[in-house]
């Protein structure tokens, strides 16, 4: 079972965790919000780097490498110790403006996923399902075992599990024979 949602960290707790004195933290960051923003930026940079490394592998194995890399990154985040993430969630509740940066990053992710997908809606459903697994685990709400959790991530990552459900976003070309049959039928109706 995961630890409960952490309280917004105090500067003393941040100093203790970082191994710095409170004065050292205050010298580096003038406010607690500045510390929290730096932590958030560090988390984003860490997972952006993971996504970039995974993207190389995904380009070789997936028709949708951006989606695959993003789901793999969410899976990686779900396997990390969550004390920093929980503290950041608590801080975001206190100051919703901290969400501007992750929202901007996610906007770019959504655009990249849509751009490569033959069915953008299905691709976004897979990505948001992965994020739902992460958040339910992070918030201690998931009734799933670790094995079930990982099996669901495996399925979200497996393009072959989804190809039958894909709807093509571009209209398919009508076969020549079917087009002329349709024209003939329309001409007969008019006559």
Round the average pLDDT of the chain to a whole number and report it: 78
Residue of 117, 110, 128 whose CA lies nearest to 159: 117
Evaluate whether residue 133 is within a structural domain.
yes
Q: What is the pLDDT of residues 146-157, one digit of tens each?
A: 999 999 999 999
* CATH code of 81's domain: 1.10.357.10
Residue 48: DSSP 8-state: H
Instruction: With cut-offs at 50, 70 and 90, classify the pLDDT of residue 186.
Output: very low
Tell me if 162 sits within 8 A of 126, measured CB to CB: yes
Structural domain harbouring 74 = 11-190
Give the separation between CA 39 and CA 45, rounded to whole angstroms.
Answer: 10
Is residue 130 within 8 Å of 156, Cβ to Cβ?
A: yes
Backbone angles phi, psi at 111, to 5 degrees: -60, -40
Q: Decide if 91 is inside a domain.
A: yes
In a domain, 2, yes or no: no
Average pLDDT over residues 48-65: 92
User: Is 58 part of any domain?
Assistant: yes
Say if 6 falls within a structural domain: no
The pLDDT score that the predictor gives to residue 44 is 80
Q: How many domains does the chain have?
A: 1
Q: Tell me what pLDDT residue 156 has.
A: 97
**76, pLDDT greater than 70:** yes
Burial (CB < 10 A; 0-12, 13-18, 19+), residue 78, is buried
Q: Give the 3-state secondary structure of 102-162.
A: HHHHHHHHHHHHHHHCCCHHHHHHHHHHHHHHHHHHHCCCCCCCHHHHHHHHHHHHCHHHC
**179: enclosing H helix or E strand:** helix 176-190
Is there a domain that residue 75 lies in? Answer: yes
Q: What is the DSSP letter of 169?
A: S
Assigned domain for 5 exists: no
3-class SS shares of the chain: helix, strand, coil, % to 5: 75, 0, 25
Residue 166 maps to a domain: yes
Arithmetic mean of pLDDT, 55-77: 93
C-alpha torsion sign, points 50, 163, 129, 156: negative
Quick one: tokens of 9?
């960290």
Cβ atoms of 52 and 45 closer than 8 Å: no
């Amino acid at each position: 079972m995961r630890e409960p949602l952490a309280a917004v960290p105090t500067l003393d707790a941040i100093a203790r965790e970082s191994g710095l004195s409170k004065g050292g933290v205050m010298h580096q960051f003038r406010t607690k919000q500045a510390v929290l923003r730096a932590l958030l930026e560090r988390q984003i940079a860490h997972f952006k780097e993971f996504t970039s490394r995974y993207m190389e592998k995904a380009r070789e194995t997936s028709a949708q490498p951006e989606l695959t890399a993003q789901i793999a990154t969410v899976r990686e985040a779900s396997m990390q110790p969550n004390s920093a993430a929980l503290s950041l969630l608590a801080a975001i509740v206190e100051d919703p403006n901290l969400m501007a940066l992750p929202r901007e990053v996610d906007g770019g992710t959504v655009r990249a996923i849509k751009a490569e997908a033959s069915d953008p809606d299905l691709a976004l459903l897979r990505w948001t399902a992965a994020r739902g697994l992460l958040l339910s685990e992070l918030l201690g709400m998931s009734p799933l075992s670790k094995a079930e959790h990982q099996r669901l991530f495996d399925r979200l990552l497996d393009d072959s599990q989804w190809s039958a459900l894909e709807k093509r976003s571009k209209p398919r070309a009508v076969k020549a024979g079917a087009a002329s049959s349709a024209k003939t039928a329309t001409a007969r109706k008019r006559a």
